[in-house]
Structures are given as structure tokens and as C-alpha cells.
Amino acid sequence: MSSDAVQIRRMTLDDVAVAVEWARQEGWNPGLHDAQCFYQSDHNGFFIGELNGAAVAVGSAVVYDDQFAFCGLYIVSPEHRGKGYGLALTQARLKYCGDRNVGIDGVLENVDIYARIGYRKYYQNARYLFTAGESPTRHRHIHSINEADVGVLNRYDRQCFPASRKAFLDMWIIQDDALSLAWIEDGKLKGYVVRRRCHEGHKIGPLFADDLTIAEQLLLASQEGVHGETLIIDIPDTNSAAIELVQHYDMELIFATARMYQKGLPELAYDRIFGITTFELG
């Protein structure tokens, strides 16, 4: 059957929940509240391909501002792979992104395929797994993130992400089953971390910090209340201090993705990115 037979439409929140369930079935281990948080980022940025009313492909194309968008959550149902339905969905997503610089975290073995539709690889994000230990007493500069000024938090985040994403962060940092902490020193925000519960264990992301010492203390504090449970963090190989951190704690490398962009590498404080937010939304 031709890919022309696929009907592409935007997802509802309920559809996004279905897509996240597909991600769970694929072994991606999404967060328990990812659907609501993801949808908050851009209500128009989630697409579903249907064949005779049945879903065959899903994917996101979150538009953050006039300059930047990020594509992810891309899954074609197993029985319909190799039929062109995913390409039809991707074309719809890229059309929505328009002339923006579009980023993805792509599967390494498919880098050449992504290159054919305009993406270029710039670095890798590697997923590490470790077991939460006994967390020490919080450092005196670590506070609940709700004690940080919202405007200050967004400005700090913007140094480490290619666009402002206030709508997303507003929900991300207060989601249920999560721990969100900030390093505030002399009234200045110098880093923050979010830990969210997933179907298996917890994921840490983002972990942004001015330096390795602050990042390490936030990482230790993020283990509060989950001693013995699995923690997962996604590290960019652009930050040698982040690699030093995961090696120091003997974390287990699980796999890696290719961070790719269509219009060049964004100018960011890469030395402050110790853990990205998600593979799905950047």
C-alpha cells in the first residue's frame, strides 16, 4: 500500500500518551509523566500517521521559537516498518519546523539515513546507568528548585539549550514523582538538576552546572530517597568533565545517540551540560 494512503494529523494529549506507551514497549523506559510534560512544550508539535484509522507511526517536532525545533519520539509500529509510512510522517514534521534549525538524537546506525534528509552529526550523547547510593547531607548551597526565581532559572537554562523553553520547564520541574534541585550561591543560580521516576528506575536530566564540583554535588543530592534504585543519565561527549564524572562513579555505558542538526551546531555553554534533558525533546 502506498505511503500516500497514510493520514497524518496532530496528536491530542491522549495520543501522546499512546506514543509514550509505544516508547515503553520499545524499551526506551520513558518517565511516568512524560506525556503531559512533552505535550506542554508544543501542543501542535506531535504527529500521528494512521492507516484506515489505526496508528502506524508517531513522532514529535517541538517548535521552541522562530529559530529552533527538535524532532523525536519517532516510532513506526513493527508490522508497518519499511513501507514508507515513517518517511511520510517525517516529511510532515519537517514541514511544520519550517526554516528553523532542527535537532535530533539519532540512532547511530541510522546516521547516514538522517544525513539524506539534511542532518549532520556533531557529537554523541551517551547513556549511563548506575545504582543510587546513600546520599550525603545536602550541600548548604543546594535548595529546592522552587526557591529559585523562575526568570533566573530560564536564563540559566538558555545557556545550555538552543531556545527558551519556559512552558516545558514550568511543568518539568514540578512534575509528580520528581526531585528538582538548584545550586544557589550568594543569591546566584549556578546549576540545577531534575530527577524523574520512569517505568524502571529514574532518569536524571537536565544536569546543568557551572563546574564539575557543583555538578557532582547536585548528582549526589539527586540520589535522595532512592537508595539502591537504578539511575540513568545521558552525557554529551563534548564535556570532558561530565565524562570524568561518570568514570569516577564507575557508571555503566548502555548506548549512545548522535546529536545532529540541520543548520549547524548551536552556540551553547557545553562545559555546563553534564546531562541532557531527554533524547525525545533535546
Q: What is the pLDDT of residues 42-65, one digit of tens each?
A: 999 999 999 988 999 999 999 999
Instruction: Say yes or no: 134 and 271 in one domain.
Output: yes
Domain that holds residue 37: 3-122
Instruction: Say yes or no: 67 and 192 in one domain.
Output: no
pLDDT at 1 over 60: no
Instruction: Say yes or no: 139 and 271 in one domain.
Output: yes
Instruction: Say yes or no: 132 and 111 in one domain.
Output: no
Q: Per residue in 186-198, pLDDT tens?
A: 999 999 999 999 9
Residue 281 lies in a domain: no
Q: Which of 94, 122, 150 marks a domain boundary?
A: 122
| CA torsion through residues 71, 74, 80, 82, sign | positive
How sure is the predictor about 3, in pLDDT bands with cuts at 50, 70 and 90? low
Instruction: Say yes or no: 97 and 189 in one domain.
Output: no
Average pLDDT over residues 199-211: 98
Residue 111 lies in a domain: yes
Number of domains in the chain: 2
Residue 171 lies in a domain: yes
Residue 224 lies in a domain: yes
Residue 282 lies in a domain: no
Cell output for 17: 500518551
User: Which CATH number do you get for residue 153?
Assistant: 3.40.630.90
Q: How far apart are CA 10 and CA 265, in angstroms?
A: 28
Residue 268 lies in a domain: yes
Q: What is the pLDDT of residue 4?
A: 64
